[in-house]
């Protein structure tokens, strides 16, 4: 794969297409044309995107284009490295001033999940994140949240602001009636202790919804 090797060393990995990146990972013994053809085949069989490739479970992935166990493991390991790097970068974003900051912090954690999780961010008055806590996780469409648990932890941390964050695996970020009811319950419970529910942000792949940005939080 001399051409691909020359390209990555002269122009950087960012210059490679999705198919070329896959080829470098799994087709090191093939010539350039064969390697890229294999990369294209893998991407096509996984929905036409790199995201589709990395979201395949390893049992399914090993069957794609005859990848086999070793190459499938290599792809999954590479995807996990990228995920952990993104999460590590997100943890350095320690101050919340907008819904975009919330997305930057939590999208690497929640964006690609196939089940719902709900998290609470506990903030100081400056917006500094005191703690991130997963408060529930559930099936594909729902998760159950205990408002008492959310407020109890805020009191323990002496937090003055809370941001709720959860994901929608369906890809639709519009809030459900349950999401709206949860926001109202948590806001009312927090207000009893002079704690402010700053926002509730719903995250999905490449999109998000902010209750505060839509004037749905008082």
What residues in the chain have per-residue pLDDT under 50? none
Burial (CB count <10 Å: 0-12, 13-18, 19+), residue 97 = exposed
Residue range 83-130, pLDDT digits in tens: 777 666 655 557 899 999 999 889 888 988 888 999 999 999 999 999
What pLDDT shows up at residue 90? 59
Verdict on whether the full-model pTM lies above 0.85: no
Q: Walk me through the domains of the chain, giving residue ranges and CATH numbers.
A: 2-88 (no CATH), 93-210 (3.40.140.10)
| Residue 3 phi, psi (nearest 5) | -65, -45
What pLDDT shows up at residue 198? 97
Token duo for residue 91: 């943890």
């Amino acid at each position: 794969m001399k051409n691909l090797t020359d390209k990555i060393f002269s122009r950087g990995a960012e210059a490679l297409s999705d198919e070329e990146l896959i080829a470098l990972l799994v087709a090191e013994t093939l010539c350039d044309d064969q390697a890229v053809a294999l990369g294209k085949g893998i991407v096509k069989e996984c929905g036409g995107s790199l995201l589709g490739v990395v979201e395949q479970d390893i049992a399914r992935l090993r069957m794609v284009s005859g990848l086999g166990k070793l190459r499938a493991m290599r792809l999954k390991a590479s995807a996990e490295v990228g995920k952990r790097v993104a999460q590590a970068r997100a943890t350095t974003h320690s101050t919340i001033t907008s819904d975009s900051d919330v997305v930057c912090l939590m999208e690497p954690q929640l964006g690609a999940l196939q089940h719902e999780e709900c998290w609470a961010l506990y903030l100081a008055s400056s917006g500094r994140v005191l703690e991130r806590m997963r408060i529930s996780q559930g099936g594909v469409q729902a998760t159950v949240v205990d408002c008492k648990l959310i407020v109890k932890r805020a009191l323990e941390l002496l937090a003055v602001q809370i941001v709720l964050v959860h994901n929608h695996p369906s890809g639709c970020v519009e809030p459900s009636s349950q999401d709206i009811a949860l926001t109202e319950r948590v806001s009312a419970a927090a207000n009893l202790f002079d704690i402010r529910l700053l926002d509730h942000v719903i995250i999905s792949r490449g999109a998000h919804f902010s209750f505060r940005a839509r004037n749905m939080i008082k």
